[in-house]
Structure formats: C-alpha cells, structure tokens
Amino acid sequence: MTRSLRIAVVYPDLLGTYGDGGNGLVLARRAEWRGHEVALLQAVSDRPLPEADIYCLGGGEDGPQVRAARTLIDDGTLARRAAEGAVVLAVCAGFQIVGRTFPGAAGDPHDGVGLLGVETVKPTGPRAVGEVLVEVDPAAFGPLPPLTGFENHGGVTALLEGTAALGRVVVGVGNGAGDGSEGAVQGHVVGTYLHGPVLARNPALADQLLSWALGDVTLDCLDDEASESLREERLATVGGKRRRRRRA
C-alpha cells in the first residue's frame, strides 16, 4: 500500500552547513522509488515548522545553532510531533540541540528541545574531525550493517541514564565521553555526529527510518549499486586506518 509522506528538512538556513540537507533528499527518493507520494519541505526558520512525518536536522555553526534551538522551543511543533511518534534524524549541531543542554560559542549552556536524554559540553581537547566507523547496537536499534560517516564537531555528548547509544565507535571519536558511544536513540528519535550525509552512506539506516514512518512495514529492495560501491570503499579505507592505529 502506498502512502503519502511529508519530510521536513529543519531550518536549512541555520542548520545547513555540512551537506546534511542530503538526508531529506535520500529519504524522499527512497520513498518515491517505492511508489509512495512524498512532499519534501525545506522548512526555513522564519516560518512556523510544518507538520511532517519525518524531521531532519543538520549541522550548523555555534551562533545559528543557538538561534535554531530557541526557535524550535518557541515554535513547539517538533517536540509535539516527536511525542506523537514522528521520526526525527538529528545530526551534529542538530543532535546537540535535540538533547537537554548544549554549549553556545562561549561554552555557556543552552536549553535543548529535550527529545533525547543527552547533555553536551565543550571538549577540553581539539575538535573531533575525521572518518568514523560505528557498529550499531542490535539490542537498542535492531540489526544494521556498520555505519560509515565523517565527523567534525567540538562537543562532548554524555548519555543520561536510560538513553541508548546508536552504536559503538570502532574508528573515530563519536560522542567523545569516554564510553566509546556514538549517537543516541530514543523511540523514533535518532541523533548522530555522522555527516556524509549519513543516510547517503548508510541506506539501511534510511530504510529503517522510512519503515518507522510508514508504520513498521517491510520495504522492497532498491538498486543500491552506487551506495554499495561507496560503502565498500569507505569501509576499506577506515579498516586500513584501524590496522595502522593498532600497530602504532
């Protein structure tokens, strides 16, 4: 049965720095290719946030990040739709602002939207920049192939009691809180530091989000030759890094 799906890219004018708008495009195309009708909405920050089945938040700079969080809290739609079961994918700065608190440019704490039980602070060390390989926790998320992506953030994110990580970092930094975790999952809300965009590099994660949004349906296979070729190359590249690190 085909359905119509509304996918909102949240505040591309504030959270559009690292190509994460591609996540919305990947979800939209993968739903359309399976015969569903899709409205892909670019939800700019000076309008009320539209009603949608899936919300995608991306990375952004410190100043615009603070503004995005404040605007989302005042608007109220994202928190309400998440409580109603809408799917939320939040990346990098977006991940930080759907948590409880996050740091502004000067390190001062700001309120997040509170969809995920995580708290982010400024790191004492350098920014985390580079390729990442993550093994997804099957207990928290269900079985998924390893996630590949690129992180670029200056934040340390701690999981609060009762919040599950998206997975365990094999290569890279991830949440950076010393527990080897990457991202967070609570209900249909997923947070991660992975760019790439993450859904372009990990179509199985995209399909998991689509399946939630469509009511836990099983999805037909698609022609993922280009993505599979990219995944093989990226996994081989970070696999090489892992071996080099072990030797060092």
Catalytic-residue membership of 92? yes
Q: Give least dist CB 247 to other proteins, A.
A: 21
Site string for other proteins, 196-225 (x = CB under 8 A): xx--xx------------------------
Q: Give least dist CB 153 to other proteins, A.
A: 10
Query: Please, what is the Cα angle at 201 between 105 and 151, to 5 degrees?
Result: 25
Cα gap 217→240, rounded to integer Å: 37
25 binds other proteins (CB under 8 A): yes
Residues 128-167 that bind other proteins (CB under 8 A): 129-131, 150, 152, 154
Catalytic-residue membership of 188? no
| DSSP letter for each residue of 118-144 | EEEE--SS--EEEEEEEEE-HHHH---
Closer Cβ to other proteins, 56 or 82, answer by number:
56
127 binds other proteins (CB under 8 A): yes
Instruction: Report CA dihedral (191, 213, 161, 116) to the nearest 10 degrees.
Output: 50
Tokens of 190: 């997923």
Q: Give least dist CB 60 to other proteins, A.
A: 8
Query: Are the C-beta atoms of 205 and 188 separated by less than 8 Å?
Result: no
125 binds other proteins (CB under 8 A): no
Cα gap 18→247, rounded to integer Å: 32
Neighbours of 226 (CB within 10 A): 10
192 binds other proteins (CB under 8 A): no
242 binds other proteins (CB under 8 A): no
Neighbours of 103 (CB within 10 A): 21
Q: Give least dist CB 232 to other proteins, A.
A: 9
Site string for other proteins, 41-60 (x = CB under 8 A): ----xx-------------x
